[in-house]
Amino acid sequence: MYQDNVNEIENLINKYFKGIFYGNSSSLETCFSMNANIYGDINSSEYSKSVAEYIETVENRKSPNELGEVLKMSIVGINILGKIAMVKLHVPMFDYNYYDYLSLFKIKGEWKIVNKLFTNIVL
């Protein structure tokens, strides 16, 4: 059961990575609970959006793929307790060194992102 959850979460995160990297907003949208919120710190500037606003931003920007970037996103860690999980990701793109913390909840048998926190770590 635990390994099944890990596999399901890894599949969700890979879909999330591809949605961000290729700008596939419809695929990305399926990764989130419709009530999810996104909060971040980009070089000391606060960022806060609803999931709908975030998806619209991804849809209307040039994707990392369109800009000739290489997909280098990776899962740093997954912690699962019952129907909740925390996932730490490394998401380098757009000349940023992003790290995401995603809160996941298993809703009706499917893992969904219910909250996203992220920051840019300057190297």
C-alpha dihedral over 34, 39, 40, 45, to 10 degrees? Answer: 130
Range of the domain at 78: 2-120
8 A C-beta contact, residue 37 and residue 53: no
Radius of gyration of the chain measured on its C-alpha atoms = 14
Number of domains the chain contains: 1
8 A C-beta contact, residue 16 and residue 32: no
Q: Please give the Cα distance from 102 to 33 (Å, whole number).
A: 12
Span 19-59, pLDDT tens digits: 999 999 999 999 999 999 999 998 899 999 999 999 999 99
At 46, list the tokens.
Answer: 């606060």
CATH of the domain at 76: 3.10.450.50
pLDDT of residue 17: 98
The full length of the chain comes to 123
The amino acid sitting at 30 is T
pLDDT of residue 1: 87
